Amino acid sequence: MTDSAPLFLTPDGPLRGHYHAGLVRASGIRYARATRFQTPIDEPAHPETRQATTPGPVCPQVPDPALQEALGPALAGRTFDEDCLRLTVTAPADYHMGPARAVLVWIHGGSYVSGAGDLAFYDPAPLVREQGLVVVAVSYRLGILGFLGHRHAPANLGLLDLLAALRWVQRNIAAFGGDAGRVTLLGHSSGGDAAAHLMLAEGAAGLFRRVILHSAPLGLAPGRARMTRAMAAAVAPLPPDAPLEHVLAAQPRATQAARWSGLKAGMPFGVQYGVAPLPPEAAADAAWQAAAPHFDVLIGATADELRFFAVIAPPLRRLLTLPRPAPALVQALIAAGSRRIYVGPAVAFARRHALAGGRAYLFTVRYHPAGSEFGGAHTIDLPLLFGSAEAWAPVPLLGEAGWPEVEAAGRPVRQFWADFARAGQLPARIHLPGVLEVEEVK
- Catalytic sites, residue numbers: 189, 305, 378
Distance CA(349)–CA(365), nearest Å, equals 17
Q: Is 71 exposed, middle or buried (0-12, 13-18, 19+ CB in 10 A)?
A: buried
The 10 Å Cβ neighbour count of residue 54 is: 10
The 10 Å Cβ neighbour count of residue 355 is: 13
Our CA dihedral for 369, 373, 378, 384, rounded to 10 degrees, sits at -20
How many residues are there in the chain?
442
- Which parts of 34-155 are beta strand (E)? 41-42, 50-51, 86-92, 101-107, 134-138
Distance CA(197)–CA(221), nearest Å, equals 10
Residues whose CB falls within 8 Å of the CB of residue 144, separated by 6 or more in sequence, listed in order: 235, 238, 247, 248, 250, 251, 254, 269
Closest of 167, 180, 44 to residue 101, by C-alpha: 180
Question: Is the separation of the CB atoms in 334 and 306 below 8 Å?
Answer: yes
